[in-house]
Each structure stands twice: as C-alpha cells, then as structure tokens.
Amino acid sequence: MADLTWSVVEEALLTALKTELGSLVQTVASYQGNWLQDLQHQARRLPAVLVSLQSTRGEWVAMRSSDLVLDFVVLVAVRPFRGEAEARTQEGGIYQILEGVRRALWRQDLGLAITPFSLEKEEPWLTSPELAVYGAEYRTSLVKNF
C-alpha cells in the first residue's frame, strides 16, 4: 500500500459521496467543530451531508510500518417540514440519503490503497422541529511507513 495522507482519503470520500448522491442533497462538505451550530447558523443548504475525520489510531504491523485506522463520521441532515417520520421516510429523506451513503462507501476502497470502508454504526443524533440528523460511522485503515 502507498503512503497516503488523511486529506487524500477525506477528499476521495467527499468525491464518492458527491458522485453517488448527486442532486439528492444540496450540500456535501467537510466539517470540523460544532456541526449543530454550522447547520443552524450558517448558510448550508439542506439536505446536507457533512463529513468529519473523527479519530485516528495506529496499530503496529512491522518494524518500520503501522496501520493507521481512520474513523469518519458522515452526518445526514434534513429539515422535517412534514414532521419527523416524513423526514426519515419520504423521498429525499434521511433513509434514502443514508442508503446512498452506503452505496458510495460501504466495502469501497475509493480507488486508494486503503482497507475498504466498514460501516460501524448508524444512529439518530438529533430530532427537532427544525432539524433531523443521523450519523453514520465508517472505518478504514492505511499503511504508514516510517
């Protein structure tokens, strides 16, 4: 495997999501910081998919090489105009967008020298009259040579 950087993996992940989701979402972007504040107070257009590198950890493999495990969080956010249930189940709702995220990422290596992404968990993060957000956690790893 080649020696990759986090930013290369994140950029490939964003490209795969943009390609798969197309016009189903208005925004596909990287974020770092307060996702709720970003969604509520900035001009992000919904539905939105936000991606963040959540954590990394190294696992020693050989004398001069380690696996670097990368955990990404993909947030899917919609405005529940017709109520919470509709926000999940309607055309263009959270469930349909999450299915598109799975097609783009789950068991995919995105053309990079990485372990294919595994889906670790999907769960609701926020449900309010103004915003419905689900999070999906994906994991991959790459080799770092020293």
The predicted-structure confidence for 41-86, as pLDDT tens digits, reads as follows: 665 689 999 999 998 877 766 667 678 899 999 999 998 877 777 7
- Of 71 and 143, which is predicted with more confidence? 71
Q: Which domain holds residue 138?
A: 6-145
84-108 mean pLDDT:
90
Contact (Cβ atoms closer than 8 angstroms) between residue 134 and residue 123:
yes
How far is residue 135's CA from residue 121's CA, in Å, rounded to a whole number? 8
- Angle at the Cα of 42 from the Cα atoms of 39 and 45, rounded to 5 degrees: 65
Residue 131 domain-assigned (yes or no): yes
Structural domain count of the chain: 1
Residue 59 domain-assigned (yes or no): yes
Residue 1 domain-assigned (yes or no): no
Residue 106 domain-assigned (yes or no): yes
- Angle at the Cα of 47 from the Cα atoms of 18 and 79, rounded to 5 degrees: 170
Q: Which of 39-48, 90-99, 102-111 has the highest mean pLDDT?
A: 102-111
88-109 mean pLDDT:
93
Residues in the chain, overall count: 146
Q: What is the pLDDT of residue 9?
A: 95
CATH (domain of 132): 3.30.2000.10
Residue 24 domain-assigned (yes or no): yes
Residue 121 domain-assigned (yes or no): yes
Please determine, for residue 1, whether its predicted confidence score (pLDDT) is greater than 60. Answer: no
